[in-house]
A and B are shown apart, each in its own frame.
Chain A
Amino acid sequence: MTARIDISAVTRRYGATLALAGVDLTVEAGAYCVLLGPSGCGKSTLLNILGGFADPTSGAVRIGGRDMVGVPAAARPTTTVFQDYALFPHMTLLDNVGFGLRMRGMARRARQSRAAEMLALVGLDGAGARRPADLSGGQRQRVALARALAVEPDVLLLDEPLGALDLNLRRVMQDELKRIQRSVGATFVHVTHDQEEAMAIADRLVVMNAGRIEDQGPPERVYRAPASRFAAGFLGEMSFLPARVQAGRAVTALGVLGGPQTHPEGTRMIACIRPEHLRIGPGPALGPIDVLDTVFMGAHRKVRLRARAAPDVDLTALLPADTAPGPDLAIDAGAVTLLPDNGDTT
């Protein structure tokens, strides 16, 4: 019904390029895990390795404790929802959804009724006699999901499942996915480059870049206290302000930010400031500022500004529409994340 995934020290090389550079990841049974990253970050390669479509160059992959390396897709307790759905155009929806059961030798009558149940689960009851060409993109997505779930996989792999849908439909489907995952209980691993989608669905969010995992954990934690500069910048807007450790505190041009630091005196650090960290309230004030740009966004006003005290860094503030940016804007110092500055600028 569901299974835990253990990936340890997995690398994958394509010729001279390293698609995965030592990935360790554990996903608890029944969790909804989202792999998030820009294209080429290795998330699809990792999914292919889980699904049995590619081999790791080295490392171990276990699903439910069983070693998966070299096991073909058909023999794994996984099924995949493919990016373009890969529905069989010449079969009815019932035959599409029942295909995996047919391969397992289930009698026609039984698999048709099971397929009909699965179609009902994804909200397509009664559509079994139709063909994929008659469906909209969102409906095809649902059929692909039903087909992959019909064989009761322990782990469901979803490769950019919502990528082809328009924005509204994507938001509807992400809620649906979560609901379905809860009701079937299988472990879901979902690949996407859409951070909003990722944060909305994930129990466990994994941010990847350049073949490595940058950060992983509950989405809220990753958003609020990212473990790397990449993870910080990829999940929503972020400004980076240089800092230096003095007397156990991170000191920036705009004052002391973040909590106590254990790094040695003089260590260079980076303060990660989100737009919502700038507001009128307690904390170090920005002092005189220059407003670069203002965008009206309905309830909010997005203001790009520069503090005279830190003229090299553009800050973004998300202010209530009736609040004018001024020198009384202050940083919510406790919410700011501080990362060691290891020189990378991504």
Chain B
Amino acid sequence: MIRFALCSAYMALIYAFIFLPVAVLALFSFQDGRFPIPPFRGFSLRWHAEVLADADLIAALVNSLLVAVASSALALALGFLAARAVATGALRGAGMVRAAITAPLSVSYLVIGLGLLASLNLMGIGLSLGTVAIGHVVINTPLCFAICSAALGPATANAERAARDLGAGEIRVMALVTAPMIMPALLAAFLLSVTFSWDEFIIAFLLSRFDVTLPVEIWSLLRSGLNPKTNAVGSLVFMLSALAVLAVELAAARRK
């Protein structure tokens, strides 16, 4: 009984801590007033409306989606192919290849972003959404590689061998056998990459110029200090993500 009470109390406290900022953020996005701080002056949707009417924010949201989807697709392709290469066992120095491809996981995004910034400057490549996507592919490829590698095993290797034995060429082996066999892992890797890219700030901040992603646009909103509009953006992003997660969960549940 005491044990139950202790556990419940602890859970309640930690969940309160975890939810506190999100709850405050959401509540004061409805603030009928200029400041998102107590007292709560009444319920208003004007800040949400203002966000939806803000062309820069909407453009940034679209940019973010573009960068997230494009960079994740490329990262998944690179990671999947490399994972297959390592999984075949035919690669010489597979350990080195694995280490090289996963190396970016252990380096801070700030350092990756700065390094890319300096190199792009030296090469005379201008900053754009494309350079942001390049950076996001760098951070997401190791992730996709790791997830695909974990999904590939003796079962897939043997099925590939059987497919080849029955006359399938490399592309058909991948398209008809390997990819369908590890589809859940491919989806997971893609979605996780999209999430990381969608939420990533520092690389996007350093490598973008005129067109920016949503986190960077929100960052510039922050300059105006505490502002219910920022709350509204935050809650809208929250709802969007929640809907996406829900959709994925439902899709997964239906497949079963």
Binding site for B on A (CB under 8 A): 51-53, 72-74, 78-80, 82, 84, 86-90, 99-100, 103-104, 147-148, 151
Contact = CB atoms under 8 A, between A and B. Distances in A.
Contacts, number: 63
B167 A103 contact: yes
A47 B4 CA distance: 62
Contact of A86 (B158, B168, B180, B183): B158
Contact of A79 (B166, B168, B169, B177): B166
Contacts of A99: 163, 166, 168, 176
Nearest to A144: B162
B172 interface: yes
Contacts of B159: 86-89
B181 interface: yes
A88 B166 contact: no
B181 A147 contact: no
A54 to B, nearest CB: 11
B155 interface: yes
Q: Chain B CB within 10 Å — which of A51, A78, A84 has the most? A: A84
Nearest to A151: B166
A86 B168 CA distance: 15
Given A90-B180, A90-B181, A82 B168 contact: no
B168 A103 contact: yes
Interface of B: 154-155, 158-159, 161-169, 172, 176-177, 180-181, 183
Contact of A88 (B169, B177, B183): B177
Given A82-B161, A84-B155, A99-B176, 19 more contacts: A51-B165, A52-B165, A73-B161, A73-B164, A73-B165, A74-B164, A74-B166, A74-B169, A78-B165, A79-B166, A80-B162, A82-B158, A84-B158, A86-B159, A88-B177, A88-B181, A89-B181, A104-B167, A148-B166
B contacts with A: majority SS: helix
Contacts of B177: 88
Nearest to B167: A103
Contacts of B166: 74, 79, 99-100, 103, 147-148, 151
A79 B168 CA distance: 12
Nearest to A105: B167
B165 A74 contact: yes
A240 to B, nearest CB: 40
B159 to A, nearest CB: 5
A103 B173 CA distance: 10
Contacts of A51: 165
Contacts of B162: 80, 82, 86-88, 147
A273 B198 CA distance: 77
Contacts of A53: 161, 165
A151 B163 contact: no
A103 to B, nearest CB: 4
Ranked 3 nearest A-B pairs via Cβ: A100-B166, A103-B167, A86-B158
A284 B243 CA distance: 90
Contacts of A52: 165
A79 B154 contact: no
A155 B174 CA distance: 26
Contacts of B180: 88, 90
Q: Chain A CB within 10 Å — which of B154, B163, B166, B172 has the most? A: B166
A84 B164 contact: no
B161 A74 contact: no
Contact of B163 (A78, A84, A88, A89): A88
